[in-house]
């Protein structure tokens, strides 16, 4: 399945939600560059759509490491499970 991302959010302007719902996918695992943009907006929009979200913190980055840490620890952790990739792999 290929989804073309046109905006910061992976959902905005794409068929992603329709494709995920058709496959009965309810849990998303996010990683990415620009935590203050792409990761933040996609995660919050997905939360509004009632998806369960896990963010792999060590696979996210931002130009400002302090902003990255703040968003992961203080903002996104309120709506998402924020864990490391090792924690994800080892369950």
Domains in the chain: ranges and CATH: 16-89 (3.40.50.850)
Beta-ladder partners of 81? 54
Summarize pLDDT for 34-60 with one digit per residue, the tens.
999 999 999 999 999 999 999 999 999
Nearest to 80, CA basis, from 17, 29, 38: 29
Confidence bin at 6 (pLDDT 50/70/90): confident
Q: What is the mean pLDDT of residues 15-34?
A: 96
Average pLDDT, the chain: 95
Residue 20 pLDDT > 80: yes
Beta strands in the chain (DSSP E): 27-33, 52-61, 81-83
CA 45 to chain centre: 9
Q: What is the CA radius of gyration of the chain?
A: 13
Nearest to 32, CA basis, from 56, 16, 49: 56
């Amino acid at each position: 399945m290929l989804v073309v991302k046109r905006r910061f959010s992976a959902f905005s302007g794409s068929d992603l939600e329709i494709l995920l719902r058709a496959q009965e996918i309810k849990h998303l695992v996010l990683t990415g560059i620009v935590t203050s943009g792409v990761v933040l907006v996609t995660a919050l929009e997905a939360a509004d759509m009632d998806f369960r979200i896990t963010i792999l913190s060590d696979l996210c980055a931002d130009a400002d490491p302090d902003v990255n840490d703040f968003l992961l620890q203080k903002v996104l952790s309120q709506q998402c499970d924020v864990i490391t990739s090792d924690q994800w792999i080892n369950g």
